[in-house]
């Protein structure tokens, strides 16, 4: 049976169902609803002209990516289960058979439009039977007040006003997350695969009687790589992903088309146990889809909706985040991992509102932001992603967006731990009670008296998190007795949860320093190179931030001097410099970005990205050529794990080979 016959058969079957529905009275309940509309229009191929870049790309990326992904998709299989995310049974008030399923008729020549509120397609002619065009009942109750058709819009498509309908957030499709009882061939033992330690640059030292000293230290978490074999059908966690898509007028053209193309590629990396929701926003937010499983059939559903997205209107990010946060709070089912992708190219002043909104959300999730072009507000986008430990992706060349999508998604599907909590306290006894943490790097540290707390929503396999601090060793004049030499100065505890079964793992570590008198000899007091490298990572990032602030005051030459001095410090020690390749590259890029012309074109946004991602130790820092073009990442980024490298590599392979201009 060919495709057209299948569609006709579908209409015949649904027609019979419709006749049965006509014989039954329809119960109608009034429900309040805010009017929302999504217009669909036909369009020509937008990829005929692509702005010049150092990366010549193939306009047929989705097709090629699909072909190359056929084998790779086996690496990310998804399981089937009727249990919740931690192995318990699911109590569903609505059986799966009653879930509303959208289908599309590719041969229909009738004009269609979508109602963003309902997340479904309807025809111009209103169906009086409260059914969709295939005869299936809608997943909402119709109020007595009917749909009102108004005058035609600018595009000749009738505008439809929906009165007395309330947006539904509990219409998410039931998921079948992994069961704890399923024994995997490559089961990831969180307790064994996660290491936790706290250490200082030196283990021994002398307390001076003339001045205070400062000793760098780190709290470090390392997760071993998780290799997902091709035959492993339960190899990874399920993901709930909500995409917030800017459709303001400035997105018209290549920007919105590359967003749509990248979203279609994104579908190929998602599987049956993942769920996706699409929300667009201009001056208002528009719910295009519910939180729906990315099955093979639903990929066609998502593809059709993605292709229909059009750019027009204003830009109000807080409306989109408000809708996304409501979705997280009211969804009926919770997947193993949750994240939000925010895509925008404009300037917005609603960050304070987003800060307020997020305080009411108790769900565990990350928030990644993608800023397009020269006009977006990079400081705001970094502030938004930092609210939930996400990455900021600076996309000057929108043809690279799909690669950054692959990196962000690769981090999500390789999550092995969630809801991390680290507690650090200064615990030195008398006479060393004044030894305290004097400085911390990054905004992750929250101080409570002599204690600090760090929280992190997710931890991916093959990643590490190093939280850097400085320890104050105050001036000390007393003689150190043998019984006072070994002093525990820092206590630290890690609490982390397994996202597949809910098991909580706890680990502890401490720093003990050995002190000597001034007239005593210290033997074999070697530097910890790992601590030194992480210390220079955050010191270099701090210098990039200082240079950015200097550029804001038109002191570009001063900014470059700051960067040069930092590079000299790092490169003094070859052993340390060998471990600092990432920050050295970023400093060199930041020096170029500090040039007056470069800073105005791309430098500010590039430096904002470096600052945010380097403190978080995640994301991909954009690179620019000497001519000011954003270039493709041909080498693995500093913070990528194997999964992220593989997925970004697949996207890159689907494009034409790199050519120098």
Give pLDDT tens digits for 576-589: 999 999 999 999 99
Where does the pLDDT of residue 229 fall: very low under 50, low under 70, confident under 90, or very high at 90 and above? low
Write down the CATH number for the domain with range 190-230+416-526.
2.60.40.740
pLDDT(415) > 80: yes
- In the chain, which segments carry CATH 3.40.50.410? 3-75+91-173+237-413
pLDDT(210) > 70: yes
Contacts of 568 (CB under 8 A, 6+ apart): none
pLDDT(295) > 80: yes
Residue 6: other Cβ atoms inside 10 A: 9
State the average pLDDT over residues 417-436.
95
pLDDT(197) > 70: yes
pLDDT(165) > 80: no
Where does the pLDDT of residue 164 fall: very low under 50, low under 70, confident under 90, or very high at 90 and above? very low
State the average pLDDT over residues 653-661.
66
Task: Tell me what pLDDT residue 6 has.
Answer: 40
Q: 430 in helix, strand or coil?
A: coil
User: What does DSSP assign to residue 174?
Assistant: P
Task: Tell me what pLDDT residue 186 has.
Answer: 54
Task: Tell me what pLDDT residue 187 has.
Answer: 76
Contacts of 401 (CB under 8 A, 6+ apart): 258, 259, 262, 370, 372, 395
State the average pLDDT over residues 101-118.
32
pLDDT(647) > 50: yes
Q: Which of 90-99, 154-163, 178-187, 312-321 has the highest mean pLDDT?
A: 312-321
pLDDT(185) > 90: no
- In the chain, which segments carry CATH 2.60.40.740? 190-230+416-526
pLDDT over 90, % of the chain: 64
Please write down the HEC assignment for all residues of 610-658.
Answer: HHHHHHHCCCCCCEECCCCCEECCCCCCCCCCHHHHHHHHHHHHCCCCC
**Worst-scoring range by mean pLDDT, 6-15, 58-67, 514-523?**
58-67
- Six-digit token string for 444: 């992750």
- Six-digit token string for 33: 């609803």
Task: Measure the CA–CA gap between 180 and 86, rounded to whole angstroms.
Answer: 7
Task: Tell me what pLDDT residue 84 has.
Answer: 44
State the average pLDDT over residues 640-661.
83
**Worst-scoring range by mean pLDDT, 40-54, 398-412, 485-499?**
40-54
Task: Tell me what pLDDT residue 177 has.
Answer: 61
State the average pLDDT over residues 37-59.
33
pLDDT(54) > 50: no
State the average pLDDT over residues 364-387.
94
Write down the CATH number for the domain with range 3-75+91-173+237-413.
3.40.50.410
pLDDT(548) > 50: yes
Q: Average pLDDT, whole number, for the chain? A: 79
State the average pLDDT over residues 610-631.
96
Where does the pLDDT of residue 94 fall: very low under 50, low under 70, confident under 90, or very high at 90 and above? very low
State the average pLDDT over residues 620-640.
94
pLDDT(616) > 80: yes
pLDDT over 70, % of the chain: 72
Where does the pLDDT of residue 178 fall: very low under 50, low under 70, confident under 90, or very high at 90 and above? low
């Amino acid at each position: 049976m060919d495709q057209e016959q299948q569609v006709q058969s579908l209409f015949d079957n649904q027609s019979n169902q419709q006749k049965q529905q006509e014989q039954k009275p329809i119960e109608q309940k009034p429900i309040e609803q805010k009017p929302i509309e999504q217009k669909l229009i036909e369009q020509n191929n937008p990829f005929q002209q692509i702005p010049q870049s150092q990366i010549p790309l193939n306009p047929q990326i989705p097709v090629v990516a699909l072909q190359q992904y056929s084998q790779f998709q086996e690496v990310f299989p998804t399981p089937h289960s009727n249990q919740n995310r931690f192995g318990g049974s699911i109590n569903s008030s609505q059986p799966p058979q009653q879930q509303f399923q959208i289908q599309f008729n590719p041969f229909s020549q009738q004009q269609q439009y979508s109602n963003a509120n309902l997340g479904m397609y309807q025809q111009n002619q209103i169906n009086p039977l409260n059914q969709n065009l295939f005869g299936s009942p809608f997943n909402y109750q119709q109020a007595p007040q009917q749909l009102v058709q108004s005058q035609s819009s600018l595009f000749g498509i009738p505008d439809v006003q929906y009165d007395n309908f309330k947006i539904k957030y509990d219409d998410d499709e039931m998921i079948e997350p992994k069961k704890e009882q399923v024994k995997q061939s490559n089961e990831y033992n969180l307790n064994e695969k996660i290491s936790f330690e706290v250490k200082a640059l030196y283990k021994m030292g002398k307390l001076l009687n003339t001045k205070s000293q400062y000793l760098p230290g780190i709290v470090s978490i390392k997760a071993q790589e998780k290799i997902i074999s091709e035959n492993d059908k339960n190899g990874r966690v399920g993901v709930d992903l909500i995409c917030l898509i800017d459709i303001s007028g400035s997105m018209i053209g290549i920007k919105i088309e590359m967003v749509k193309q990248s979203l279609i590629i994104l579908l190929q990396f998602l599987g049956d146990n993942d769920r996706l929701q699409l929300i667009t926003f201009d001056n208002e937010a528009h719910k295009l889809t519910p939180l729906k499983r990315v099955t093979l059939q639903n990929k066609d559903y998502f593809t059709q909706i993605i292709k229909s997205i059009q750019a027009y209107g204003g830009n109000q990010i807080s409306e989109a985040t408000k809708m996304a946060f409501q979705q997280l709070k009211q969804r009926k089912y919770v997947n193993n991992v949750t994240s939000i992708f925010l895509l925008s190219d404009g300037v917005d002043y609603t960050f304070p509102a987003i800060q307020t909104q997020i305080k009411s959300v108790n769900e565990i999730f990350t928030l990644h932001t993608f800023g397009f072009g020269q006009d977006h507000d990079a400081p705001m986008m970094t502030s938004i992603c930092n609210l939930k430990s996400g990455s900021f992706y600076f996309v000057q060349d929108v043809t690279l967006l799909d690669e950054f999508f692959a990196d962000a998604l690769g981090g999500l599907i390789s999550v092995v731990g969630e809801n991390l909590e680290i507690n650090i306290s200064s615990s030195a006894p008398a006479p060393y009670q004044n030894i305290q943490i004097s400085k911390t790097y990054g905004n992750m540290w929250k101080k409570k008296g002599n204690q600090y707390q760090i929280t992190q929503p997710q931890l991916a396999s093959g990643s590490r998190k190093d939280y850097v601090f400085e320890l104050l060793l105050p001036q000390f004049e007393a003689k150190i007795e043998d019984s006072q030499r070994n002093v525990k100065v820092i206590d630290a505890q890690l609490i982390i949860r397994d996202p597949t079964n809910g098991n909580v793992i706890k680990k502890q570590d401490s720093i003990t320093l050995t002190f000597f008198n001034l007239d005593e000899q210290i033997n074999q007091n070697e530097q910890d190179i790992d601590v030194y490298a992480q210390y220079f990572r955050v010191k270099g990032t701090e210098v990039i931030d200082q240079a950015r602030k200097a550029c804001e005051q038109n002191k570009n030459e001063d900014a470059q001097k700051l960067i040069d001095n930092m590079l000299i410090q790092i490169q003094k020690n070859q052993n340390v410099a060998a471990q600092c390749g990432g920050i050295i590259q970023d400093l060199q890029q930041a020096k170029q970005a500090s040039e007056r012309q470069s800073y105005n074109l791309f430098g500010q946004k590039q430096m904002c990205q470096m600052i945010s991602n380097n403190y978080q130790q995640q994301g991909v820092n954009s690179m620019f050529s000497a001519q000011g073009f954003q270039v493709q990442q041909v080498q693995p980024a500093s913070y990528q794990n194997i999964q992220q490298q593989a997925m970004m590599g697949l996207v890159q392979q689907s494009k034409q080979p790199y050519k120098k201009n």
